[in-house]
Chain A
Amino acid sequence: MSLVTDKLTTKSLIETGELYSEMTEINRSLINISNFDFFYGEKQALFDVNMDIKEREVTAFIGPSGCGKSTLLRCINRMNDLIDVARIGSGKITVNGVDIYDDRVDTIELRKRVGMVFQKSNPFPKSIYENVVYGLRIQGISRKSKLDESVERCLKGAALWEEVKDRLDTSGLSLSGGQQQRLCIARALAVEPDILLMDEPCSALDPVATAKVEELIHTLKDRYTIVIVTHNMQQAARVSEKTAFFYLGKLIEMNATDQIFMSPEKEQTEAYISGRFG
C-alpha cells in the first residue's frame, strides 16, 4: 500500500504548489506503458505497446472492434486480474513512476487511485445515495456529515446533483440511462481517484445524454487524468487532447488529436478515421 500511496499522491504536491510550474507548462507523463505484451491464454491481445499518458489530459483510444482498446485500459487498473486466463507477456506499466505489476503493489490501493467507468452503466441495486458513498463505506468511513458532503460534491462533479437532489433515497436503477452513467461517474469520483478510465461511456446513450457526459469530461479534465475508449470519431475529436489508434493489438499511432484527425502519419490511421476501412 505504502509504495503506491507515497508516490501517487501527487495531488498534495500540486496543492502546495511545488509542482505547479512544471505542470502547467508541459504536463508531465503520469502513465507510462513500455514494450507491453498481453495474452488471454495462448492468444496474444496486445503487441509491444509503448505510450505516455500526460497528467490532466484526456487521451482517447480509437480503433476497430477487437483491437485491444478495452484490454489495455483494463490493464491500467489491473481489472484484468479478475480474468483467470489473462497474463502479461513482457513490458511494464508505471503509474506515477510505480510499476503497478510489482508484487508489492496492492491492487486495492491502485484501484482507489485509478477509477473506472464502464460501457454499460452499472449502478448497484441500491439508493442513489448508497451508490455514491459505496467507495467510502468500503474504506470504513461512516460519518454522516462526511458522506453527505461527498454525495453532494460528487453528484455536482458529475453534473447530476440538480436532477436527483430531492430523491437521493430512490433506487439508482430508477434513473434514465444517461443519468445512470453520470451516477457511475459520481460513484467513481467519490473515491477521489487521480485517473479515470472510461470504456465507451456513451455508447448506450442518446445524443443529449452523450452531450452531457462529454461536457462533464470537459470540466473533469481540470482535476483528473482521463483515458477514454470510444468508437465515435467526433467524440474523440471533441473531448480529447491526445488520440491513440490501435489496430490488431498494436498501437499504430499516437499524437495530438488535431494531428491525428487532420494529418495522420500512418496510412491505416487515415483509412480508419476517414471510414475507408476494410
Chain B
Amino acid sequence: MNEVDPDNRYDLNSSRKSFLGITWEQALKGLFGGNALVSIVVLGLITLFLFKEGVGFFGQYRESLSLHRQSGLEYVELIREELDSFSALEKYLNSIRSMQSEQLTAEGMEFKEIKATLREDEEFFYDFEDLGYPLREYVLDSNEVAIAARDRYEEMLNLRVHRSNLIEIGKTQEAEALVINDVDLEQLFELLKSKETDFIEINRKFRQSIPNIIEQAPLYENTELAAKMSRFRELSAMFLEELPGYEASLLSWDRKKPIGIGESFTAFVFGNKWVTNSSIQDWYGIAPLFLGSLLISLIAMIIAIPLGVGAAIYVNQVATPIEQTIIKPYIEFISAIPSVVIGFFGIAVFGTLVREVSGWEALSWISFFPMSERLTGFTAGGLLALMAIPTIFTLAEDALNNVPLSYKEASMAMGSTRLQTIIRIIVPTALSGIISAVLLGFGRVIGETMVVLLCAGNRIEIPRFSEGLGVVFEPVHTMTGIIAQELGEVVNGSIHYRALFVVGLTLFVISLLINYMAQKIVIKFQISRG
C-alpha cells in the first residue's frame, strides 16, 4: 500500500468506499439495470409461454377437424342443413298461426271460440309438420352412427396412448393384456353412405307432397295474414328449389380429402362458430369474438374521443386555473374506479336506463328501438368509454401542453381569436400526440375484461353489421370475456385450453401493435417539432 500523504492533493487514487470490490455507484447501476432486465425477461417469458401453449392448438384443431370429416360428422352436417331450412319453414308457419290467434284475441273473441276457429285449419299445419318426420329421423340416425364411429375411434386412440405409456414404465404384461379393437372409420362410414338412397327418396317425397299440401292451405281474409301465407308459399317453393343443391353437395363431398394446417388456421381465424363441450363437434372460430371486441371498442372510442380530447382542449386552453384544478383530478379519478364496480353499475343502472330510453315514444322512429336486450355492445361500449376517457384526456392534455407557448402568442399577436388559434395551430401541432393518446385509449379498451364480461351480453355470434346502426344494440361476446369465462373450466393441454391461449396471443399481438404504433407516432411528432 502506498503511504498517503495528507497534504498531497494530487493523490488521485479513488477513495470511494467499496464492498466486495463494488462501489456504491456500481451497485446502483446494477440495481437499475437489473430492473430493466427483469422487465425484458418477463415480457419475453410471457410471449414464449403464450406461444408454447398456443401453437399446439392448430395441430390439434386440424386433427379434430379431420376426424370430424372422416367419421362422417361433416357429411351429416350437410344433411342437417336441409333439415334446418325445413325447420325454418315450420317456424314461419307457426308465426302465422300465433299471429292469427293474436288477432282473434284482439277482435275480442273468447279463448274457446279461438280454439274452435283455429281447429278448422289445424289439419293443414299438422300435415305440413308431419312431412318433416322422415328427414328428422334420418338426420338423427345418421348422426348417431357418425358419433358412435368417432367415439370408438377416439377410444381406440386413447387406449393406444395408454398402452405405450404402460410399456414406457415397464408394465409390459398389463400392456399386452389390453384389448384394442381396431376401428375402421371407412367401413363405418359405408353404413351412412349406403343409406344415401333413403335421403334421395325423402327429397323426392318432399317435391311431391309439399305442393299438394300447400294447395290445402287456409285462405285468410285478413290481408296481413294472407300476405304472410303467400310469402310462405314462396319460401316453400324456394326450399324445393334448393333440394338438388343439398343432394349435389352430398355427392361431391369427399371423405378422404385431407385437412391441412392452413385449413385449421383459416377455420380458426374466419370461423363464425365458437362452440365448446358439444356432443357433436367443438368449433373454435375467433371471428365472432374478434368482431365483438372490435365493435365494442369502436363504440367506446366514438364516445370517448370527442369527450376525452374535448375535455383536454378545454382544460388546457380555455379553463381558468381554478377550473383546471377541479376538472383534471376528477377525470383522472375515474381511472381509479375498479372495473368490476363500473361493470356493476352497467348492469344495475346503465343497461336498464338505455333499454328504458329506447322504449320512449319520441324515439320510436328509430327502426331498432325499442330494444329487447339490456346488456349489449352499446352498454359495454358506453362504460368502456368511461374508462378510456382518463387515458385519452391525460395523454392528449400532455400533448397540448407540449405545444410551445410561443406558437399561441404568435397566433394571437396576429389577431386570431382563441378558437382559431386552438383549431389552426394548437391542435394540429399536438395532433400526433393526440392520435397516440387515442391509440393508447383504444389499447386500454380492447384489453378490458371485467366490464365486457358483465355488460356485453355474451352472445357468441358475429354481430350483424348488415343491420346498420342497430348492430350496436346486439349482445356480443369478446376475446377477453371468453378467456375469463372459460379458462377456469378447461382441462390443461386440451384443445379448448390451447384455443383460449391463441385468443390470448391474438390480444397480446394487438396490444403490442397498438403500443408500437403509438410510440412511432410520438417519435415522429418529436422530430417534426425538433
Contact = CB atoms under 8 A, between A and B. Distances in A.
Interface in B475-530: 528-530
B121 interface: no
A122 B414 contact: no
Contact of A122 (B407, B424, B528, B530): B407
B528 A138 contact: no
Contact of A124 (B412, B425, B530): B425
A125 B529 contact: yes
A170 to B, nearest CB: 13
Interface string B385-422: 00000000000000000001011111111111100100
Contacts of A160: none
A243 interface: no
A86 B39 CA distance: 49
A126 B410 CA distance: 13
B414 A112 contact: yes
B404 A122 contact: yes
A71 interface: no
Contacts of A125: 407, 428-429, 528-529
Interface stretch (A76-84, A96-104, A144-152, A261-269): A76-84
A138 B415 contact: yes
A118 B407 contact: no
A7 to B, nearest CB: 17
- Among B411, B429, B530, the one with the most A-chain Cβ atoms within 10 Å of its Cβ is B411
A93 interface: no
Interface in A119-167: 120, 122, 124-126, 134-135, 137-139
Interface string A183-222: 0100110010000000000000000000000000000000
- Among B410, B411, B415, B529, the one with the most A-chain Cβ atoms within 10 Å of its Cβ is B415
B420 A138 contact: yes
- Among B413, B420, B425, B529, the one with the most A-chain Cβ atoms within 10 Å of its Cβ is B413
A84 B318 CA distance: 12
B321 interface: yes
A135 B406 contact: no
A111 interface: yes
A118 B416 contact: no
Interface in B422-446: 424-425, 428-429
Nearest to B410: A122
Interface in A164-183: 171, 173
A111 B414 CA distance: 6
Contacts of B408: 82
B407 A138 contact: no
B150 to A, nearest CB: 66
Nearest to B528: A125
Nearest to B425: A124
Contacts of A84: 320-321
B424 A116 contact: no
B424 A138 contact: yes
A138 B406 contact: no
Contact of B414 (A82, A120, A138): A138
Interface residues of B, number: 23
A125 B426 CA distance: 10
A171 B527 CA distance: 13
A138 B416 contact: yes
A207 B321 CA distance: 42
A125 B407 CA distance: 9
B414 A115 contact: yes
B418 to A, nearest CB: 9
Which size bracket describes the interface of A in this complex?
20 to 34
Contact of A116 (B321, B404, B407, B413): B413
Nearest to A135: B414
B406 A118 contact: yes
A109 interface: yes
Given A112-B415, A124-B425, A134-B424, A79 B410 contact: no
Contacts of A173: 528-530
B22 to A, nearest CB: 47
B407 A108 contact: no
A191 B415 contact: yes
Nearest to A113: B415
Contacts of A110: 415
Contacts of A120: 406
Contacts of A139: 415
B505 to A, nearest CB: 40
Nearest to A111: B415
- Among B407, B411, B414, B428, the one with the most A-chain Cβ atoms within 10 Å of its Cβ is B414
A94 to B, nearest CB: 19
B412 A79 contact: yes
A139 B411 CA distance: 12
A191 B413 CA distance: 10
B374 to A, nearest CB: 48
A135 B415 contact: yes
B528 A184 contact: no
A126 B431 CA distance: 13
A111 B425 CA distance: 17
A108 B429 contact: no
A92 B414 CA distance: 22
B522 to A, nearest CB: 15
- Among A116, A124, A191, the one with the most B-chain Cβ atoms within 10 Å of its Cβ is A124
Interface string A51-90: 0000000000000000000000000010100101000000
A112 B321 CA distance: 28
Contacts of B415: 108-112, 135, 138-139, 191
A173 to B, nearest CB: 8
A122 B406 CA distance: 6
Interface in B313-340: 320-321
A111 B417 contact: no
B310 to A, nearest CB: 22
Contacts of A82: 408-409, 412
A111 B412 contact: yes
Given A108-B415, A112-B414, A112-B415, A137 B424 contact: yes
A122 B412 CA distance: 13
A122 to B, nearest CB: 4
B422 to A, nearest CB: 12
B411 to A, nearest CB: 7
A110 B414 CA distance: 9
A126 B408 CA distance: 14
Given A84-B321, A134-B424, A138-B420, A184 B410 contact: yes
Contacts of B414: 111-112, 115, 134-135, 138, 187-188, 191
Given A79-B412, A138-B424, A108 B417 contact: yes
A112 B411 CA distance: 11
B413 A124 contact: no
A-B CB proximity, top 7 nearest: A112-B415, A122-B406, A116-B413, A111-B415, A138-B416, A135-B414, A138-B420
Given A138-B420, A171-B528, A188-B414, 11 more contacts: A79-B409, A84-B321, A110-B415, A111-B414, A120-B406, A125-B528, A134-B411, A135-B414, A138-B416, A173-B528, A191-B415
Interface of A: 77, 79, 82, 84, 108-112, 115-116, 118, 120, 122, 124-126, 134-135, 137-139, 171, 173, 184, 187-188, 191
9 contacts: A79-B413, A111-B413, A116-B409, A122-B406, A124-B425, A138-B414, A138-B424, A173-B529, A188-B413
